[in-house]
Structure 1
Amino acid sequence: MRIADRKEFATKAPPLTCGPDTTVFDAVTQMAEKNFGSIFITDEDDRVLGVMTERDIFRRVIGENRDPKTTRVSEVMTTEVRMANKDDQVLEWLQVMSNERFRRLPVVDEEKRLVTVMSQGDFVSYTWPQLLGQVGQMAQATFAPAFNVIAIVGGIAVYTLVLILLLLYAR
């Protein structure tokens, strides 16, 4: 399934963004008002420059004893941000997010402008039923051929045992 096919893609609230010169204090105030765990830092054309998460705030502001009222988000944001396209596959990104340990995925358009932000939760709500279905299909595909061989061998063993018992009983 494509990211754009998720119902959340069309219904998500606009992403929380700010410019690189915004203070950490002002960004955190916006995050608290909206109950967001992150804020994306964008340029004038809405292109993603970075992301500041709660973890960045703890490690790079509080942990380094910086003043949030004078520290700019550009000083503490994560700059290596993975970005998706709306036509990318949900399961592929869920795997990448899990392996690389990040929870928020910005989705950008052809000009790399921020469209929305999808979370692991947006993907997991869809993928659990799909994953369980795929596990069932894989189990059936894996065990069905083996089961046929086991059934044939087992049938021959039972038939042989019955013949042996009949021969012993007939004596």
Structure 2
Amino acid sequence: MHRPVSDVLRNGGVVVYIAPHATVYEAIERMAFHNVGSILVLKNNRELVGIFTERDLLRRVVLKGLDARTTPISEVMTHDVIVVSSDTPRYEVERIMREQHIRHIPVADEERLLGVVSLRDILRVENEERKFEIDKLKEYVMEKPYPTYPG
């Protein structure tokens, strides 16, 4: 269970991002197209300056009555982004998410963004591993006993 968070990354290494001057609507369109719950905000296509999530959309846009078509993403994104490295253990990433009350964390090595991992991604992989272990235990328990030979 000490496997790295890089094992959980989806989308084949595609980093879904948008520029800070883009609108919330443009961000939502991109998120929907890629079927993701968050989008990174990159300055000059390189520098991470924020993250925007479905929760941000609800709390910072919808509840405040802002127009998604005219509101810049930079006004409603989370600026202080927690980033983990690809070799961070999954259990550590899950702990950070629970303590910080966040569901998405960017994963990076050195200066290169590798993607975003969600709490759902981590829990999905953990459930798959548990199911595999249970299936193997069932096979072992249900295995026919070795034949006994007379004598």
TM-score under structure 1 length normalisation: 0.66
CA distance in 1, matches of 2:5, 2:56: 27
Shift in Å, 1:41: 0.4
Partner of 1:36: 36
Query: How many pairs does the alignment contain?
Result: 128
Would you say the 8 A contact 2:97–2:103 is kept in 1?
Answer: yes
Would you say the 8 A contact 2:19–2:45 is kept in 1?
Answer: no
Would you say the 8 A contact 1:9–1:116 is kept in 2?
Answer: yes
The equivalences for 1:29-108 within 5 A come to 29-108=29-108
Give the 3-state SS of the residue equivalent to 2:102 in structure 1. coil
Shift in Å, 1:120: 1.6
CA distance in 1, matches of 2:109, 2:31: 24
CA distance in 1, matches of 2:70, 2:45: 25
Aligned equivalent of 1:3, options 2, 5, 19: 5
Would you say the 8 A contact 2:16–2:115 is kept in 1?
Answer: no
Would you say the 8 A contact 1:91–1:127 is kept in 2?
Answer: no
1:62 partner letter: V
Would you say the 8 A contact 2:13–2:114 is kept in 1?
Answer: no
Give the 3-state SS of the residue equivalent to 1:12 in structure 2. helix
List 4+ stretches of structure 1 deviating above 4 A: none
Q: Is there any run of 5+ residues in structure 2 with no aligned partner, and where?
A: 134-151
Would you say the 8 A contact 1:106–1:115 is kept in 2?
Answer: yes
- Identity across aligned pairs (percent)? 32
Shift in Å, 1:127: 3.2
1:123 partner letter: I
Deviations 1:13-44 (A, max 9, x none): 51210000001111111122222221110122
Would you say the 8 A contact 2:84–2:106 is kept in 1?
Answer: yes
Partner of 1:21: 21
Bigger CA radius of gyration: 1
Which stretch shifts more, 118-127 or 89-98? 118-127
Deviations 1:107-130 (A, max 9, x none): 01212x321111222222343556
Shift in Å, 1:47: 2.5
1:66 partner letter: L
RMSD: 2.1
CA distance in 1, matches of 2:109, 2:18: 18
1:114 partner letter: L
TM-score under structure 2 length normalisation: 0.74
Shift in Å, 1:76: 0.3
Q: Is there any run of 5+ residues in structure 1 with no aligned partner, and where?
A: 134-171
Q: Which has the higher strand share?
A: 2
